[in-house]
């Protein structure tokens, strides 16, 4: 793997570390429970665009510094805009949501497995961020909350796109309107998270899972993610065409060539992404 440290983007509100071929992105505003202020929002397209287009990690783990995963939007930013007549808070939030949403789109373009390691509260846009990941592992001391209704704000960050795809549209509306603090056990029952572990085991388990998923063929991972996500937006005939081209093009990869020969010989194969 290339030396990631020489390529890292400059960030002030989050940090990226490499653990072998696993990238760890940590939201790093612990004194604010990693709430999203304008500076952090501006960095999401930078970091997710880099992870999608330049990094060569085989898997990525996203987590939060300190006691929280992400408390959502920074309410002190909202309050300043509401109290100061010279600040156009509507325009500011409209622009902020546009930038955040570009970051979410870039996150979805990351070609390798992306795991949210939910170490503490994930509320509002923090919950949306976790939902945008491929899978989620939750600390037993964390909770998840839609939270937007508590201040009368409309959801953003992909909340109303991802949640219905995880739990179904009717159940998503019920969760949005009731707006409970979902315990780890409740989130597991809803299949919002895949696992619940003790706090000390969270990052080791997330990295272990990232390493395991990262051993898969990169082409297979990229296509499995893309096809699964797009399936609900296609007719059957349209989607089968995407599957047709995907499997045909996989035949031209060196990984498939080597894997077929290894399988027929009863040997193990290590996928290299070629």
Distance of CA 272 to the CA centre of its chain: 24
Find the mean pLDDT for residues 259-265: 83
Domain boundaries defined on the chain? 4-213, 218-265
Residue with more model confidence, 77 or 150: 150
Residue 61 has pLDDT above 90, yes or no: yes
User: How confident is the model over 14-44, as pLDDT tens digits?
Assistant: 999 999 999 999 999 999 999 999 999 999 9
| Cβ atoms of residues 209 and 115 within 8 Å | yes
User: How confident is the model over 68-118, as pLDDT tens digits?
Assistant: 999 998 888 777 767 778 878 888 889 999 999 999 999 999 999 999 999
Rounded Cα distance between 109 and 104, Å, is: 9
Backbone torsions φ then ψ of 181, nearest 5 degrees: -80, 105
Rounded Cα distance between 144 and 192, Å, is: 9
User: What pLDDT shows up at residue 82?
Assistant: 74
Residue 253 has pLDDT above 50, yes or no: yes
**Residues across the chain:** 274
CATH topology of domain 4-213: 2-enoyl-CoA Hydratase; Chain A, domain 1 (3.90.226)
Rounded Cα distance between 117 and 111, Å, is: 18
User: What pLDDT shows up at residue 74?
Assistant: 86
Of the candidates 176, 271, 254, 263, the one whose C-alpha atom is nearest the C-alpha of residue 216 is 271
Mean residue pLDDT of the chain comes to 92
Residue with more model confidence, 260 or 204: 204
Residue 6 has pLDDT above 70, yes or no: no
User: How confident is the model over 163-201, as pLDDT tens digits?
Assistant: 999 999 999 999 999 999 999 999 999 999 999 999 999
Strands (E), the chain: 14-19, 22-27, 59-64, 114-118, 122-123, 135-139, 144-145, 195-197
Residue 145 has pLDDT above 70, yes or no: yes
In sign, the C-alpha dihedral spanning 196, 202, 207, 208 is negative
User: What pLDDT shows up at residue 8?
Assistant: 83
Strands 135-139 and 14-19: unpaired
- For the purposes of burial, counting CB atoms within 10 Å of the CB of 209, is it exposed (0-12), middle (13-18) or buried (19 or more)? buried
H/E stretch holding 79: helix 75-83
User: What pLDDT shows up at residue 71?
Assistant: 96
Strand partners, 117: 137
Residue with more model confidence, 64 or 268: 64
pTM here is: 0.92
**Count of alpha carbons within 13 Å of 238, Cβ hemisphere only?**
7
Task: From residue 179, give the alpha-carbon distance in Å to each of 60, 152, 174, 187.
Answer: 29, 12, 8, 13
Find the mean pLDDT for residues 113-133: 98
**Considering only 46-60, 175-189, 232-246, which range has the smallest mean pLDDT?**
232-246
User: What pLDDT shows up at residue 2?
Assistant: 45
| Cβ atoms of residues 102 and 45 within 8 Å | yes
């Amino acid at each position: 793997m290339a030396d990631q440290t020489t390529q890292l983007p400059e960030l002030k509100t989050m940090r990226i570390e490499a653990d072998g071929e696993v990238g760890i992105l940590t939201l790093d505003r612990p004194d604010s429970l990693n709430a999203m202020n304008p500076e952090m929002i501006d960095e999401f397209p930078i970091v997710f665009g880099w992870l999608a287009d330049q990094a060569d990690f085989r898997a990525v783990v996203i987590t939060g510094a300190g006691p929280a995963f992400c408390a959502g939007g920074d309410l002190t930013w909202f309050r300043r805009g509401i109290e100061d007549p010279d600040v156009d808070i509507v325009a500011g939030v409209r622009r902020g949501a546009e930038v955040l949403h570009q970051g979410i789109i870039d996150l979805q373009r990351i070609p390798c497995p992306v795991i949210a390691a939910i170490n503490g509260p994930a509320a509002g846009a923090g919950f949306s961020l976790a939902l945008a990941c491929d899978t989620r592992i939750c600390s037993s001391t964390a909770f998840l909350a839609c939270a937007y209704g508590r201040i009368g704000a409309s959801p953003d960050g992909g909340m109303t796109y991802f949640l219905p795809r995880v739990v179904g549209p009717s159940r998503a509306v019920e969760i949005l309107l009731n707006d409970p603090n979902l315990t780890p056990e409740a989130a597991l029952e809803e299949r919002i998270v895949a696992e619940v572990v003790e706090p000390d085991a969270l990052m080791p388990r997330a990295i272990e899972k990232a390493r395991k998923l990262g051993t898969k063929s990169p082409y297979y991972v990229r296509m499995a993610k893309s096809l699964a996500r797009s399936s609900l937006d296609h007719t059957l005939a349209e989607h089968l065409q995407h599957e047709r081209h995907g499997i045909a093009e996989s035949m031209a990869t060196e990984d498939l060539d080597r894997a077929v020969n290894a399988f027929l010989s009863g040997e193990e194969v290590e996928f290299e992404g070629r």
